[in-house]
Copies of this chain bind each other. A is one copy, B any other.
Amino acid sequence: MSNSIKDYAITTLASHTALQILKGAKDEGFKTIAICTPKSRRVYESYGVADEIIEIPTYQDYFKIESELIKKRAIMIPHGSFVSYLGHERVKNEAKVMYYGSKGILRWESDRRIERQWLKRAGVNVPKVFHDPKEIDRPAIIKFHGAAGGFGYFIAKSPEEFYEKIKEFPGQNEYVIQEYVVGVPMYVHYFLSPLTGELEIMSFDKRYESNADSIGRIAAKDQIGADIHTSYTITGNIPVVVRESMLPMFFEIGENVVRESKQLEGVPKGLYGPFCLEGIIDPNLNFRVFEISARIVAGTNPYTNGSPYSWLRYDEPMSTGRRLARDIKQGIEAGRLEDLLG
């Protein structure tokens, strides 16, 4: 393989975190290719992040243009929309383009039950799971598998309430019942370079969810009269910093999760690149983790020009998108690109 970044391009689907991925790649000197739909093209042109745009009717048409990407020696940066549009099995079994990250990890993050095993082995403080609705003895959140956009949730405090509310979701038999942890949501954005083995914390965010983040604006009595329910559709992200004394704990948890990822079946290189632990900080400062994303998350989007943390370490604008482009650049120049591809 070539040791010059001029012989490669960075590409991704034009959605999710593509703006920072493409901008970061350009800042590191790469040629960038945005895979757009007719509707999204306008956005990526406006922000000037793509040297080339390949247009497809819908993102499901991705495989029609993959050979073109391969010809251009493009390296695909997978993000949540890429995995979601193609499905983790097709990504693993059919995608042939150079791919940054461990493909095998996608199975572990896409199924909440095995994801939980991984986190527990890493000593992460996960919320209690109730295996039978009859066990519900405290506020619990019921999440449906594969439910998109945050609609597939409800809260129940007892078996009775569970059986009453599940009626609103006919035919949905795949769910988990999880302890509902009261505390503030916190999303931790990690980065691990396989070239150095060093774990970094890039930034933090909280999501901006409709309507969860606005029903509190309605006085309690008006809410009750209007019979308003909480929904969790992600609409955006808000920047946040954490209490500095919690950083040692966040580093430790991240390192434990990475260490255990190397034991997972089908993930020979373990977890690397950007990933995110998604949890709740309770009033005793415990970090209760309910999910891991084993790739770049949209919560890094407030930091296209660097975060309060990345500015400390880098002293130049360093988004998570740019950080991974730099990893690829250093891998190429060191003749170690293979170590970064999954």
Contacts and interface: CB of A to CB of B under 8 A. Distances in A.
Interface of A: 15-20, 23, 39-40, 42-43, 46-49, 81, 139, 149-151, 155, 157, 180, 182-186, 198-201, 204, 206, 208-226, 228-231, 233-248, 251-252, 280-285, 298, 301-306, 308-309, 311-313, 317
A305 B305 CA distance: 11
Contacts of A312: 19-20, 23, 47-49, 304
A294 to B, nearest CB: 19
A192 to B, nearest CB: 12
Contacts of A40: 245, 247-248
Contacts of A208: 184, 206, 240
A298 B212 CA distance: 25
Nearest to A222: B155
A200 B200 CA distance: 34
Contact of A283 (B43, B216, B231): B231
A220 B220 contact: yes
Contacts of A229: 219
Given A208-B240, A211-B184, A217-B216, A251 B43 contact: yes
Contact of A308 (B224, B225, B242, B303): B303
Q: Which 5 A-B pairs have the closest CB atoms?
A: A216-B216, A220-B220, A231-B283, A305-B311, A220-B223
A236 B281 CA distance: 10
A247 B42 CA distance: 9
Contacts of A298: 243-244
Of A209, A219, A237, A313, most buried by chain B (CB within 10 Å of CB) is A219
Nearest to A226: B139
B230 A285 contact: no
Contacts of A245: 15-16, 40, 81
A243 B239 contact: no
A312 B218 CA distance: 36
A233 B284 contact: yes
A18, A186, A240, A317 — most chain B CB neighbours (10 Å)? A240
Nearest to A18: B244
A95 to B, nearest CB: 21
A20 B241 CA distance: 12
Given A46-B201, A157-B226, A306 B305 contact: yes
B219 A283 contact: no
Contact of A230 (B217, B235, B242): B217
Contacts of A210: 183-184, 281-283, 285
A237 B308 CA distance: 11
Nearest to A251: B42
A200 B81 contact: no
